Amino acid sequence: MAHFTDGDDLIVMRPDGRARLNARERAVLSASAAGLVVAEVATALDLTPEAVRDALASAITKLGARSKLEAIIIAARRGEIDLRQ
């Protein structure tokens, strides 16, 4: 399994008071933005599909998004993921 070391179980706040995504959430959103489906993200990041779905759900909630696509757009606008990869 992949190891994410920036406090996966902690909610880190941005200076503007909004929750910051953890490393796993950023990695899952980035892989999703590249067009990978859950099973492909799981394989690429050495996670279970359930862990991928949990990270997506958490990111969507933290970002106040209504969908995975909206979460990707918000995260990119905040500079938390780079869509140019």
What CATH number does residue 35 fall under?
1.10.10.10
**Residue 32: which residues within 8 A CB-CB, separation 6 or more?**
41, 56, 68, 72
> What whole-number percentage of the chain has pLDDT above 70?
78
In which element (H, E) is residue 51 found?
helix 49-63
Q: Residue 6 domain-assigned?
A: no
Q: Residue 28 domain-assigned?
A: yes
| pLDDT interval class at 19 (50, 70, 90) | confident
* 4/36: higher pLDDT: 36
Average pLDDT over residues 53-67: 97
4 pLDDT more than 60: no
Q: Residue 21 domain-assigned?
A: yes
Average pLDDT over residues 48-67: 97
Q: Are 25 and 58 in contact (CB under 8 A)?
A: yes
Q: What is the pTM of this model?
A: 0.80
How many domains is the chain partitioned into structurally? 1
Q: Residue 62 domain-assigned?
A: yes
Q: Residue 48 domain-assigned?
A: yes
Average pLDDT over residues 60-67: 96
| Domain span including residue 32 | 12-78
